[in-house]
Structure 1
Amino acid sequence: MKTNGSPITFTPPPRTGPITPRQRKIKRVALVTVPYHSGVVESAGTWLNVGFVYIAGALREAGYEVDYYDAMALWHDEAQIQKRLEDFRPDVVCTSAFTAAIVAATKLLRLAKQIDPEIVTVIGNVHATFCYQEMLRIDHDAIDYVVRGEGELTLPQLLNCLNAGDDPAKVAGLAFWRDGGVIATRSAPFIRDLDALPTAWDLVEWPIYKYRAKNDARLAIVSSARGCQQDCSFCSQKLFWRRGWRARSAENFVAEIEMLHQKYGVQVAMLADEIPTFDRPRWERILDLMIERKPGVRLLMETRVDDIVRDEDIMDRYAEAGVEHIYVGVEAGQQATLDLFKKGSKAADSRRAIDIINGSDIVSETSFVLGMPGDTPETFKEAVELAKLYNPDMAFFLAIAPWPYADLYPQLEAHVATKDYSKYNLVQPVVKPDAMTLEEVERELGRASRNFFMHKFQNLDQLSEWKQEFMLAVFDILINHSYLSGQMQEMAAGQRMPEAVKQMLRKVNATRRDLKVQAGAEPRNFAPIP
């Protein structure tokens, strides 16, 4: 396996005989998400797998029957997964996994083989695209095929090939085990016309997808563009997309937003794009269409610090178009660390971007990556003080995850304390700094979050009324649903919360109860305030 992002391509060895045709034709395909949970993003709500919406659409267009099964969002265990598979009786089981979920994904595919050894198992996504050699060498008994890159064209081509009794080595974008070794076919080209891709929104089990910060509003994940042209050394996206970027037309994207609201009751949509604002004229057209058509959907998004600074003159249109929450990756406050991460941005711009977002009364969120080899308890404290200075509404302090295919990995490898990928979730430290233990890193990460949010709640009355409402919901999420529950519960218990803060939270809670009563809803506290 290479770590520079370039897939290794093998020429298939000559076979000694013809490919044996399958006795059972492939008709039914189960797309199953991995039942992996870490309490990070999922704490804010239930998020669908938009990639499977596209894959399901492509498979149906090719004539296959599809079950979109979100075992992760449903919190299903092995017994429930087994029952669903037995009921559907798929010929193929496909899953998709980021690095932290890869162990659970392999277990899922092995379960499928136990249910029916004739089931064809397929896996894709970033980790599989770059680590297929390791995966197939260790788990080729559970994994039949790896889809490297986009799957909308590759997967139907594979299944058609198998049904025809032809050689999968002819299909671009695959890796598989054959004759005691790994075969990797040529890389598949990227899909150019994203507007033309079919989708399968009707297969989504909509009632389970909720956004907790807005009273369990129905939540969709949408994609307006694919790709990333940045050069961040710790990230996977630039490698997966090969530093390219493609986009749907503004009209096509906004029409989908309208449809999701009208047909499925979607109220909030999160953009899965890495940089939706990359092409400013296209992004302005999206904003204008959202303002004109008023589709009834609020937008959550991530973008670059540089693009927010660039767009300062149109931030009022962001807000009018329904952009309600923007995440920008600050990652570090020192320019030397930003340069190491190859962020391509200046530390001063990070604070400016957050000021611009706040000035537009849009929720601002950022994160700081900690646990690098040179970190100490003092650098954690410095990060918290920097976060307070930048003043986002939310800041999260994450453990560096050493993706084995990232550019930064060779510099971290000597400090990697475990190869258990299930811990590579940005919460559990896996890189050991020179002057700290992993336990100390974990403790300092929790302390950093608690201290930052203590500061935010001490200054909650400085926010607009709707942001106060939002932050109270965030407090409920942190204390009851997230990986930070322990630290937040300690804060809420009053051991570290000043009486003035507790009084303010009681007041906001009382206001919320009054509004609930006026609306005829059952009142409830959003957090246990002593």
Structure 2
Amino acid sequence: MRLTLLHPPHTAIGSRVPREHLPPFGLLSIGGPLIDAGHAVQLINADIGPMPDWLILRRVLQSDPQAVLIGHSGSTSVHPTACHLARQIKALRPDVTILYGGVFPSYHWADILRDHPEIDVIVRGEGEATTPLLIRALETGDLAKVPGIAYRRDGQPHATPPAPMIRDLDQHRIGWELIRHADYSYWGGRRAVILQFSRGCPHLCTYCGQRGFWTQWRHRDPARFAAEIARLYREEGVTLINLADENPTSSPKAWEAFLHAMIAENVPVTIIGSTRADDIVRDADILPLYKKAGCLRFLLGLEGTDEATLTTVKKGGSRAKDRQAIQLLRQHGMIGLCTFAVGFEEERDRDYARLLRHLLAYDPDQIMSVFATPHRWTPFHGQSAGRRVIQTDLRLWDYKHQVLETPHVPAWRVFLWVKLIEACLQLRPKALWRTWFHPDPEIRHAMRWYTRMGRRVWIHEFRDAWRHRAKPGQTVAQMWGTDQLPEKLLARLPPKTTNA
């Protein structure tokens, strides 16, 4: 079949501010298997630019597709745009089948199929194995035998049984030939890609849906993964690897094997990603391997600096380990980007003041704020069922906008507290010295790039705070309905922790 992969433009702050773009990894991951199955596949990345509607539609029509596959890592915040484009495509080409995948449609499939007739089929969960089966079924007209999808049967939303979990993450290749690597950069102009060493997370943080969506933590073969990074450097000039994993370091054995494999490949790439402070502390003895393998920055989720909040969100961390991890990264020539979450129900002004004091004591290199967001597939949704939603525009559900009412502090003051905390952290003398005078030019470049991006984010945030003023309305339960946790396991196998 003639297939067009469509990556919609993202209106959220995180996508439009850096003025740089990373490849659409999710669509490339299903693009490779579809090409290998014999289909003619094209990719339209409308996020570059971003493309206006008229240009997107012209590009889609020029590709003359039999099916359009829409997906975006933004998921919730890009959902309105995805449906808007699907309606326009259907209006021009009613014969085209529209397929939709990602985290949001995986859990909201019934609502989407009921409210959006322009969407024909939804892929639920991992798509590499499911999508080629679905395309084959579209040719034969027998969707009922395809696991892991949802469609209309007798006019009503219907979901097939969950698809089996993909155990071997090296089984399906990434369709790199669908992009021109020169079109993508990050980190201040460095040619860049997104990759996954692992999927899932063995932890139970209440605000996160990683464990439910991926079911079980798994990792790629360390040597093959390092070889793919090396090939991308040698053949495509890629020098920046952004790991999309939630916890790539979960298995000490597998992660150390990857570090050794990267060192053996001997390519000058920079690796950035996310992990847990506990894992950095655990790996204190091998942090020199991190640096030698190319690791430069890790995002560490602090998620609140009082032990009561950590217990509520089931983070499993501690202030002592958070502080130690930041210090260890700095001692070994790496950067700690520390996130802090706000927007929990019990917060008061004194809690923000205490948060500022604790963060100053942590002395992080970089800081980033996020707002707790009650996505339907997370335990936090159930915990927040009775709280009022103050932002119903899903395009702003990007963790950079407050969407829940904080009963004891008005939304405008929460926003100002967050900006005050960020300003105090980023403008303190130590942070300024690292930004402008750090002896390591790579760290100096990273700090300056992050500072420039942060200034542009602030402009958008203050503008949005004025344009989209929060108005308390319905509760989370009234907006999203019942908790989705009974069907959070999209694969057949139960989650389990692995230390392989």
TM-score normalised per structure 2: 0.87
Pick one of 180, 195, 199 that aligns with 1:222.
195
Contact 2:270 2:294 in 1 (8 A): yes
Query: For the aligned residues, what is the CA RMSD?
Result: 1.9
Partner of 1:436: 409
**Matched residue of 1:261: which SS?**
helix
Q: 1:119 maps to which residue?
A: 96
Describe the shift of the 1:462–1:261 C-alpha distance in structure 2 as closer, same or farther (beyond 3 A): closer
Q: 2:13 aligns with which of 35, 39, 55?
A: 39
- Which of 104, 123, 128 is the aligned partner of 2:105? 128
Name the SS for the 1:176 alignment partner: strand
- 4+ residue runs over 3 A deviation: 41-45, 456-465, 483-488
In structure 1, the partner of 2:469 is none
Question: Partners in 2 of 1:273 and 1:468 — Cα distance?
Answer: 25
- The whole-number CA distance in structure 2 between the counterparts of 1:90 and 1:297 is 37
CA distance in 2, matches of 1:154, 1:123: 12
Where structure 1 has 5 or more consecutive residues not aligned to the other structure, the ranges are 1-26, 489-530
2:369 aligned partner, one-letter code: F
Between the aligned partners of 1:343 and 1:182, the Cα distance in structure 2 is 36
**Structure label with greater radius of gyration:** 1
Q: Tell me which moved more, 470-479 or 81-90.
A: 470-479
Contact preservation (8 Å) 2:12, 2:395: no
Determine the structure 2 residue equivalent to 1:145: 121
Provide the identity percentage. Answer: 29
- What amino acid sits opposite 2:140 in the alignment? A
In 1, distance between residues paired with 2:102 and 2:3?
17
Q: Which one has more relative contact order, counting CA pairs under 8 Å at least 6 apart?
A: 2
Using the TM superposition, give the Cα deviation of residue 220 of structure 1 relative to its aligned residue in structure 2, in angstroms. 0.8
Correspondence for 1:197: 172
Once the two structures are superposed, the pairs formed by residues 122-271 of structure 1 within 5 Å of their partners are 122-139=99-116, 141-166=117-142, 168-213=143-188, 216-242=189-215, 244-271=216-243
Following superposition, the deviation at residue 212 of structure 1 comes to 3.5
Total equivalences in the alignment: 456
Aligned to 2:330, which of 351, 358, 361?
358
1:454 equivalenced with 2:430 (yes/no): no
Cα separation, 1, equivalents of 2:349 and 2:50: 36
Q: How does 1:320-469 map to 2 (within 5 A)?
A: 320-415=292-387, 416-455=389-428, 457-460=431-434, 463-466=438-441, 467-469=443-445
Deviations 1:365-416 (A, max 9, x none): 0111102122233322322222221111111121111112210112213222
Cα distance in 1 between the residues matched to 2:462 and 2:60? 39
Unpaired segments ≥5 residues, structure 2:
464-500
Q: Which amino acid in the other structure matches residue 94 of structure 1? A: L
Deviations 1:58-96 (A, max 9, x none): 111111111122111341121110111011011111112
Please state how far the C-alpha of 1:458 moved relative to its aligned partner: 4.5
- DSSP-derived class of the 1:46 partner: coil
Q: Is the counterpart of residue 66 in structure 1 residue 38 in structure 2?
A: no
Partner of 2:77: 100
Moved more, 417-426 or 129-138: 417-426
Distance across 2 between alignment mates of 1:329 and 1:449: 15
What SS does the corresponding residue of 1:413 show, helix, strand or coil? coil
- Are 2:65 and 1:90 equivalent residues in the alignment? yes
Deviation for aligned residue 1:43: 3.6
The structural deviation recorded for 1:152 is 1.1
Provide TM-score, normalisation by structure 1.
0.82
- The 1:417/1:272 distance shift into structure 2, 3 A limit, reads same
Q: Is the 8 A contact 1:446 1:484 kept in 2?
A: no
1:457: Cα distance to partner?
4.0
- In structure 2, what residue type is equivalent to 1:283? W
The answer on whether the counterparts of 1:269 and 1:297 sit within 8 Å (CA) in structure 2 is yes
SS at structure 2 position matched to 1:198: coil
